[in-house]
Every structure is written in C-alpha cells, then in structure tokens.
Amino acid sequence: MRRTALLLLSFALALASACSHPRRADGAPRSGADVITAQDIRATSFTNVYDLIAQLRFRWLQARGTDTVNLQAGNVMVRLDDNELGTVQALRTLSPVGITSIRFVDPVSAGGRWGLGYAHGAIVISTHVER
C-alpha cells in the first residue's frame, strides 16, 4: 500500500514538473502571468515599455506596502540585460523594439539574486534570446 502511494506521488510530481516547464518547444519563454514574450510585444503598438506593461500586466508596476527596513514606500526596480536601470519610471524612456522578453521577478527571488533594494520585485527586460 505504501509503495503504491509513493509510486503515485512520484508520478504526479514528474507530471507536474513536465507540465509546468517555462519554455515552449521552440525554446522561447511561455507567455504567462510573469512573462511578456516577443510575440506579445509584437502584437502591440506601444511606443514605450511603461505603456506596454501598464496595458498587459499593470500589477507589475505597483509597489505594495512599505520596505521592512526603513518603513518607506518602495519601488519595483527595473533591469535591462542584467544591468540595473532604476525604478519603473525608467520604462517610459525605453522603446519596445528589440526586446525579446519582459519578466517580473517576485521580491523574494529578486532580493536573493540582486540583494537589498528589491523589496517590491523587479521587472527584467531581455534584448537577447534566452537559453
């Protein structure tokens, strides 16, 4: 009985892992709540990235709550090809031309990857094909 339950659990985990793979068969990231793909971008006619995100994923632009360190209102940070650009206001100066994907990274993951200053997450813009 226990062996059967363990086998079923292993199968369910393997199936869930296979179904949740973040890339399509052609290697491009899948569109979803945390990704805007090149295909999504090409389907719009926005002249700057801020307006594009405001239309497609407006919640990415909203910082929620206060920073726990200094109790001040914080900002969602923006990165372009692994370089920090600043806050979401920097998106108003960026053209969507040449962008291959835009991804939202949650605060915990962003803080773990880039350190302090990402208490509200990060918007990561890529201009090259991800592997």
Task: Note the pLDDT tens digit of each residue in 37-72.
Answer: 999 999 999 999 999 999 999 999 988 765 555 555
**What pTM does this model have?**
0.72
Q: Report d(CA 102, CA 130) in Å as an integer.
A: 11
Residue range 19-25: mean pLDDT, rounded: 44
Fold observed for domain 23-126: Ferric Hydroxamate Uptake Protein; Chain A, domain 1 (2.170.130)
Q: Which sign, positive or negative, has the C-alpha torsion 64, 36, 21, 13?
A: positive
Beta carbons of 76 and 63 less than 8 angstroms apart: yes
Q: Which sign, positive or negative, has the C-alpha torsion 18, 24, 25, 27?
A: negative
* Six-digit token string for 100: 């291959």
Question: Is the pLDDT assigned to residue 104 strictly greater than 60?
Answer: yes
Question: Which residue ranges make up each domain of the chain?
Answer: 23-126
